[in-house]
Structure formats: structure tokens, C-alpha cells
């Protein structure tokens, strides 16, 4: 479809005639902006959202510390972006699909992924749904409609468009929410996905977390345009920019986006403006590319404190409850971590078991050689690898706690 208006002298449009406003409801002190109205939110759901935000922050802090102690190989924090991620998840139906990038563990916490399930993946033990084949943070849960994370950036964006097309055909009123960073939005996959979704009119919400950085590259060096939001015009798509540290605005915008997606079968782009308060990952050190002053300014806009102030204002929360929650979550994370660390890795044979319907001779040869190597150099392999002989059952007192599979 093209527009038909004619002009008879050259007139170029630069795009900067549009300025995209930012949707905000909540101020940092927990009061609403003048004229702003909070979305409908029961005390129960508000507290669930808040608990999820705190539980995610505690998990991140503890796991980062565990990485520094050498107990974990790698970790990525969501710190500073909890409102964007959890507000979006809270606006969905539990059966809607979530396809995430890697920094959206809060959405999984919201859906009920337990600390045990996180730890089993992080430590790649025998209960990890991915059977220890992936780096830490590559979570996934079929039960919770959360597609497993994959490292190559932006692959989930066209997949989300395709998945939503399937949801449209199924006609059950579900949508897909696809998270990605503003850095990933520079991949060709982003453009292919948005065009495909707009042309085929599918129920998908593209949720861009604009957190200011793609590792060390600030967003100002990533694109000349006013962020990612204006790109929606090129695909004739609904778009909204929202303050990503404002839980009420994110919830309200995503609920409305879901309504458009599901009722009208139209894709929506949301750009949530936030800041990655932590390092990119445990392998990164931001002091080389940004100032402490910049970080401090964003720490003042902490999304968790903003929601906490609002809850206290509502009479739904107090300091004693805060203290008790923090203590119990910290205890739970530590206990869970100890449990997960003790578990043996998955059997070695599982390395080749799901590649083809039957293990091919080439894979079998590789496995045999690996076993011979483990036998020759047992000290170089993790203790407790019951891998060499999967028929030998290692005694395991926590086995009864095993979580439901994917």
C-alpha cells in the first residue's frame, strides 16, 4: 500500500518533524504525575509484581557474587530494568508466549520459575532442562510459555512474528511478546520481523528495552534517529514509547498493546526507556566506557524504589515487610544455590542423545573417545560425573524435589 498524494516540486522529509512522546504515570517519589491515572491494579497483583522485582534483584546480586567467587562461570543482571521486564510480563495472559533476549529473567520469575529452576540451569546440573549444554542464563520453560534463550542476537524477533502468525491461525486469543535490546534492533532480523508481522497482521508485541548501551556502545553511537520507536512508521505499525522505570506506565502500555494485538491482530512496537545499571555481563567492566556520575544519576531513578514508594503511599507496604522479604529471599537464594551446586552434571551420554532420532556412528565414536579421555584424566573433569556409566545411580537426597520438566 502506498499513499497517492502528489507534489510538484521536490520536498524531502527528514523524519525529525515527528517527535515521539514518553508515556509516564509515576514520579520517583511514588506520586502520580498531575492528570495521570494509575491502571486498574489490585493489591494482590501489585504485591506480586513488587515481590517479583525484589526477587529478581536479589537473585541477580547473589549470582553475580557467586560468579566473582568462582562458583559460576558467567552471569547477566537485569538490574535497573526490572519495571520494564516485569511490567510487560504482568500485562500478559499466562498462556501468551514470551520470547526474550537474555536479560529478562524477571518475566520468568513473574510466571513462577523457581529459584531451583534458575540454579539448575546456571550450574548446568542433572536437572537443567537444557541438560547442561548451554551457558548460564539460557533459561527456557515450555510449561511457562517462555522460549529458550539463544545467544545470537535478534533471532527471536522473526521467530516471534512467525509464532504469532501461528497463534492467529489457531484463533485462541493469544499473543507473543518479544523482548530485545536497542542494540539487537540494529540487526537485519529486526526489520524483517517487523515487516513480516505488519504485512501478515499478527498478534505480536515487539518490546524494545532501550537501556542506553549495547555492551560498551552507547545508544547515541548506534543510530541517528530518535531511538527505535520511529522505525514503526516505516512498517505502518502502532508504537508507543514508555518510561521503562515506571511500572504503572509499562503495565498500562503493554495491556493496551496486548488488546490491539489480540483484538485487531495487529503488531505493536513498545520502546521502554531505561538504563542498564550493572555491567553488561560478568565479563564486562563499564568503568572503561562510562562515568560513575552517569550511573549515579540513573540509580536515583531506581524502578524498584519508585514502586515501593507508591505501594507505601497506597498503604499496601511498610518497612518491616520490606526487611522480612529481603531477608527471606536472600536466605532462599543461598539455600537453593547450595542445593544446585551439589547436584551432579547430566550423564555424558546426554551430550549426543537429542541430536538425531538415533545416535549416528560418528557421534558414538566421539562419545567413546571422550569417555576414554575422562578415564585417562579423571582429575580434569567435574567430580561426581556419573557420566561414564549412566546405569550407575548416584545416591541423591534431593532428587524428590525435582521440578516439572519442560
Q: Which of 181, 227, 230, 286 binds Mg ion (CB under 5 A)?
A: 181
Task: Pick out residues in 126-155 that bind ligand TPP (CB under 6 A).
Answer: 151-153
Question: C-beta of 273: minimal distance to Mg ion in Å?
Answer: 11
Identify the residue whose cell numbers are 536515583.
300
Phi (first) and psi of residue 372, to 5 degrees: -60, -40
Question: C-beta of 220: minimal distance to Mg ion in Å?
Answer: 12
- Which residue has the CB atom at the shortest distance from Mg ion? 181
Q: How many Cβ atoms are within 10 Å of 263's Cβ, its own excluded?
A: 10
DSSP string, 54-117: HHHHHHHHHHHHHHHTTSSS-----TT-HHHHHHHHHTS-TTSEEE--SS-HHHHHHHT--HHH
Burial 316-334 (b: 16+ CB within 10 A, else e): ebeeeeeeebeeebeebbe
The footprint of ligand TPP on this chain (CB under 6 A) covers a number of residues equal to 15
- Which residue has the CB atom at the shortest distance from ligand TPP? 181
- Cα three-residue angle 173-175-176, rounded to 5 degrees: 160
- DSSP letter, residue 27: -
Closest by CA to 204, choosing from 183, 234, 174, is 174
> Among residues 58 and 214, whose Cβ is nearest to ligand TPP?
214
The interface partner of residue 230, options being Mg ion, ligand TPP, none and the CB cut-off 5 to 8 Å by kind, is none
> Among residues 128 and 182, whose Cβ is nearest to ligand TPP?
182
Per-residue binding string, ligand TPP, 75-114, x by CB under 6 A, is: ----------------------------x-----------
User: Cell for 192?
Assistant: 524483517
Is residue 270 near ligand TPP by the rule CB under 6 A? no
Q: Which of 158, 183, 203, 345 binds ligand TPP (CB under 6 A)?
A: 183
> Among residues 182 and 302, whose Cβ is nearest to ligand TPP?
182
Q: Which of 174, 231, 258, 280 binds ligand TPP (CB under 6 A)?
A: 280
Is residue 215 near ligand TPP by the rule CB under 6 A? yes
The interface partner of residue 82, options being ligand TPP, Mg ion, none and the CB cut-off 5 to 8 Å by kind, is none
Q: Could you tell me which stretch among 107-115, 139-147, 214-222, 304-312 binds Mg ion (CB under 5 A)?
A: 214-222
The interface partner of residue 103, options being Mg ion, ligand TPP, none and the CB cut-off 5 to 8 Å by kind, is ligand TPP
- Please tell me the distance from the alpha carbon of residue 141 to that of residue 148, in angstroms, as a whole number: 7
Q: How many Cβ atoms are within 10 Å of 9's Cβ, its own excluded?
A: 4
Q: Give the count of alpha carbons within 13 A of 247, CB side only.
A: 31
The interface partner of residue 152, options being ligand TPP, Mg ion, none and the CB cut-off 5 to 8 Å by kind, is ligand TPP
Residues 6 or more apart whose CB falls under 8 angstroms from that of 231 comprise: 185, 191, 194, 225, 269
Question: C-beta of 66: minimal distance to ligand TPP in Å?
Answer: 20
Question: C-beta of 19: minimal distance to ligand TPP in Å?
Answer: 23
- Please tell me the distance from the alpha carbon of residue 66 to that of residue 249, in angstroms, as a whole number: 34
Question: C-beta of 151: minimal distance to ligand TPP in Å?
Answer: 5
Is residue 211 near Mg ion by the rule CB under 5 A? yes
User: Cell for 78?
Assistant: 537485569
Q: Could you tell me which stretch among 86-94, 206-214, 354-362, 393-401 binds ligand TPP (CB under 6 A)?
A: 206-214
CA-based R_g, the chain, Å: 23
Closest by CA to 49, choosing from 257, 363, 329, 308, is 308
Are 100 and 177 contacting, i.e. CB atoms less than 8 angstroms apart? no
Per-residue binding string, ligand TPP, 338-357, x by CB under 6 A, is: --------------------
> Among residues 96 and 104, whose Cβ is nearest to Mg ion?
104
Question: C-beta of 224: minimal distance to ligand TPP in Å?
Answer: 17
Q: Which of 136, 140, 181, 347 binds ligand TPP (CB under 6 A)?
A: 181
Residues 6 or more apart whose CB falls under 8 angstroms from that of 391 comprise: none
Are 260 and 267 contacting, i.e. CB atoms less than 8 angstroms apart? no
Binding stretches for Mg ion (CB under 5 A): 181-183, 211, 214
Binding stretches for ligand TPP (CB under 6 A): 103, 151-153, 181-184, 209, 211, 213-215, 276, 280
Amino acid at each position: 500500500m502506498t499513499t497517492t498524494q502528489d507534489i510538484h516540486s521536490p520536498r524531502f522529509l527528514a523524519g525529525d518533524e515527528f517527535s515521539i512522546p514518553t508515556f509516564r504515570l509515576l514520579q520517583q517519589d511514588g506520586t502520580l504525575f498531575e492528570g495521570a491515572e494509575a491502571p486498574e491494579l489490585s493489591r494482590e497483583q501489585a504485591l506480586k509484581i513488587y515481590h517479583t522485582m525484589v526477587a529478581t534483584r536479589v537473585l541477580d546480586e547473589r549470582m553475580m557474587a557467586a560468579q566473582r567467587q568462582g562458583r559460576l562461570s558467567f552471569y547477566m543482571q537485569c538490574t535497573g530494568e526490572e519495571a520494564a521486564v516485569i511490567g510487560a510480563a504482568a500485562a500478559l495472559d499466562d498462556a501468551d508466549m514470551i520470547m526474550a533476549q537474555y536479560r529478562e529473567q524477571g518475566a520468568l520469575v513473574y510466571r513462577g520459575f523457581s529459584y531451583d529452576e534458575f540454579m539448575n540451569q546456571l550450574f548446568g546440573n542433572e536437572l537443567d532442562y537444557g541438560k547442561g549444554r548451554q551457558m548460564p542464563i539460557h533459561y527456557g520453560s515450555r510449561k511457562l510459555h517462555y522460549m529458550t534463550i539463544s545467544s545470537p542476537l535478534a533471532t527471536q524477533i522473526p521467530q516471534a512474528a512467525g509464532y504469532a502468525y501461528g497463534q492467529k491461525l489457531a484463533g485462541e486469543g493469544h499473543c507473543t511478546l518479544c523482548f530485545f535490546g536497542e542494540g539487537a534492533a540494529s540487526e537485519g532480523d529486526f526489520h524483517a520481523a517487523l515487516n513480516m508481522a505488519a504485512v501478515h497482521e499478527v498478534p505480536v508485541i515487539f518490546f524494545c528495552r532501550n537501556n542506553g548501551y549495547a555492551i560498551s556502545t552507547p545508544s547515541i553511537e548506534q543510530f541517528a534517529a530518535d531511538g527505535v520507536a520511529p522505525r514503526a512508521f516505516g512498517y505502518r505499525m502502532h508504537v508507543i514509547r514508555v518510561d521503562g522505570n515506571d511500572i504503572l506506565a509499562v503495565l498500562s502500555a503493554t495491556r493496551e498493546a496486548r488488546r490491539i494485538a489480540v483484538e485487531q491482530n495487529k503488531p505493536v512496537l513498545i520502546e521502554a526507556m531505561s538504563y542498564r545499571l550493572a555491567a553488561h555481563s560478568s565479563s564486562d567492566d563499564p568503568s572503561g566506557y562510562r562515568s560513575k556520575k552517569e550511573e549515579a544519576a540513573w540509580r536515583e531513578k531506581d524502578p524498584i524504589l519508585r514502586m515501593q514508594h507508591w505501594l507505601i503511599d497506597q498503604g499496601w507496604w511498610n518497612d518491616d515487610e520490606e526487611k522480612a522479604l529481603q531477608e527471606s529471599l536472600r536466605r532462599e537464594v543461598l539455600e537453593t544455590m547450595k542445593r544446585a551446586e551439589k547436584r551432579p552434571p547430566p550423564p555424558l551420554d546426554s551430550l549426543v542423545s537429542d541430536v538425531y532420532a538415533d545416535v549416528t556412528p560418528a557421534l558414538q565414536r566421539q562419545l567413546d573417545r571422550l569417555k576414554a579421555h575422562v578415564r585417562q584424566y579423571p582429575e580434569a573433569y567435574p567430580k561426581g560425573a556419573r557420566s561414564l556409566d549412566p546405569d550407575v545411580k548416584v545416591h541423591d537426597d534431593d532428587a524428590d524435589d525435582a521440578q516439572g520438566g519442560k
